[in-house]
Amino acid sequence: MSTPQQTRPTARPTRRPSRRPTGRPAHVAVVGAGLSGLAAALHLAGDGHRVTVVDQLPIPGGRYGLLERDGFRFETGPTVFTMVPLLEDAFAAVGRTASDYVTLNLLDPAYHAHFADGSTLLVRPGHEKMRAEILAQSGAKDAAAFDRFVAWLKRLNDVELPHFIDVNFNSPLGLLKAPRAAAELVALGGFGRLGPAVARRFDDERLHRIFSFQAMYAGLAPAQALALYAVITYMDSVEGVWFPDGGMHAVPRAMAQAAEDAGVEFRYSTPVDRVERRDDGSASGLRLASGERLAADAVVLTADLPIAYERLLPGVPAPRVARSGRFSPSAVVWHVGVRGDVPERAGHHNIHFGRAWDEAFKDLLDRGVPMADPSRFVAVHSLDDPGAAPPGHHTLYVLEPAPNLRAGRLLDWDAEGPRLRDRMLGWLDAFGYPTDIVTEELVTPADWARQGMAAGTPFALAHTFAQTGPFRPKNIDRRAPGVVFAGSGTTPGVGIPMVLVSGKLAARRVEEYLR
């Protein structure tokens, strides 16, 4: 890991400790060392609490996983890192900066977007660079439209982040706390549809796709997603995409080290059996799979929400939306270690758009079958992380969207997975990616389910209107006082920026409870 270890001073809390009535610092147990759990731990430590993080895995990261095999190092979780200020917020809780622990590099271009007609557009960071690309590729009209588009995106972000994302809602009535912001969001067209909102701004259809595919992160087709999710477009197409020295997994390792320096205790390779509760239903600690009891004044659970209820809170049924809500599509991810060079027209992040668009989403979301004409994503981390592959080799992260286990309930993934793998292999070869395979690992929706992800999707509940903001499952449950939820299944939602915020919101809930 190429993080600057020598810059770490001794950690110190930035706020006065809150204490239990006995006068002792409160002890908070966090289940899960993924990004939301690590963010929660940092904020809780900054609040002066004694924190223990428990995880069944031997390393931090959670879904931000790592696979090492045959001389290759594969990043098995998120591949696109955006909104560095939200990461800085977690480090600042313990008086640190992210740069004390990890070096982040802005990718330029952020994406290579490849289209079925053979053309390529570069998604470049910042207003001016992207405007120049649009001017060269799409013309002056669309370049001027981009100026207005960025202004719209920035205003959406400025309204949404403080008032609707970085906030705990107790009920939909919480929207009334910021009536001016809600009115402005309506005036900005935030409750319209993302696809049409983008299409009416640009003539070049390629730009329609570049600036609306992010709806997939919210679990919806662009034609269905609310325009307010253009904030995701702002995060990666304007603010930029970053890649850490040492690979993506350097981020959770850095967060864990900062937490340890702040006094947080980590217990890896330690499965949890359940939350222990008093007669009044409040949390009193954890029962570990070993039989050991870990006493705690509050507990933060970061498992996928339906799984957290089912496995860790026996006797407390999950809220209806967490049990029977609409889940995001899943994905087939193929990790491939290959011998050879990638084509010159490919970069670190590559989006390959198929000819079909609306029909492809109908396959995925309505028919529950693999896309007949899929769009795919390929990340080549080894281009910027030489240690990820031996000399003369590369790692390929190939993602094809797929139905989740509920939408695609008739699919047999033991048969469908290898079929899609072979289809992806032929497609990689046709584009010019190296296909001399040294090692590989295929992950299907059935595998995601075995890893503890509801409906076999790593993207949790879709961000429909009825599952967004105050309508999304809350991070507290009055039936289990002292239990707080974090992660993509609860508020504010899916994606690295959102789960970082989720950890902070969970820490706020703990603070409220302990007071």
Average pLDDT estimate for 7-31 = 58
Alpha carbon distances (Å) from 408 to 213, 323, 389: 21, 17, 35
Q: What is the value of pTM for the model shown?
A: 0.93
Is residue 236 within 8 Å of 214, Cβ to Cβ? yes
How many whole angstroms separate alpha carbon 491 and alpha carbon 506? 9
Contacts of 431 (CB under 8 A, 6+ apart): 114, 343, 346, 352
Q: What is the pLDDT of residue 238?
A: 87
Nearest residue to 56 via CA among 302, 333, 276:
302
Confidence at residue 23, expressed as pLDDT on a 0 to 100 scale: 60
CA distance 206 to 115: 8
pLDDT at 19: 39
Domains and CATH numbers, the chain: 5-61+81-102+246-324+464-514 (3.50.50.60), 123-240 (no CATH), 329-455 (no CATH)
**Is residue 22 very low, low, confident or very high in pLDDT (cuts 50, 70, 90)?**
low
Q: For position 174, what pLDDT does the model report?
A: 78
Please indicate whether residue 369 or residue 12 has the higher confidence score (pLDDT).
Answer: 369
Kindly list the distances between the CA atom of residue 379 and the CA atoms of 241, 395, 398, 514, in Å, as whole numbers in the listed order: 13, 8, 7, 43
Query: Between these two residues, 330 and 216, which has the higher pLDDT value?
Result: 330
Report the pLDDT averaged over residues 21-32.
84
- Write the pLDDT tens digit of every residue in 203-219: 999 999 999 998 888 88
Among the residues of 93-139, which ranges form H helices? 127-138
Token readout for 170 is 């107790």
122's CB contacts (< 8 A; 6+ apart) are: 109, 111, 112, 113, 133
Convert the pLDDT of each residue in 105-133 to its tens digit: 999 999 999 999 999 999 999 999 999 99
Q: Using the predicted structure, report yes or no on whether residue 421 has a pLDDT greater than 70.
A: yes
Locus of tokens 């919806």: 220
**Cβ atoms of 170 and 474 closer than 8 Å:** yes
Tens of pLDDT, residues 144-178? 999 999 999 999 999 999 999 999 988 877 777 88
The structure tokens listed for 210 are: 């570049």
In the predicted model, what is the mean pLDDT of residues 443-452? 97
pLDDT tens, 467-510? 998 999 999 999 999 999 999 999 999 999 999 999 999 999 99
d(CA 302, CA 323): 17
Q: Which two tokens stand for residue 437?
A: 């395979």
Closest CA to 241 of 230, 250, 253, 232: 232
pLDDT score of 445: 98
Q: If pLDDT is split at 50, 70 and 90, which confidence band does 358 have? A: confident
Give the C-alpha separation, 155 to 162, whole Å. Answer: 12
What sign for the dihedral angle of Cα 209, 212, 214, 215? Answer: negative
Please, what is the average pLDDT of the chain?
93
What is the secondary structure of 225-289 as a DSSP string? SBGGGHHHHHHHHTS--EEETT-TTHHHHHHHHHHHHTT-EEE-S--EEEEEE-TTS-EEEEEET
Q: Are 2 and 468 in contact (CB under 8 A)?
A: no
Residue of 189, 481, 222, 263 whose CA lies nearest to 357? 222
What is the pLDDT at residue 21?
46
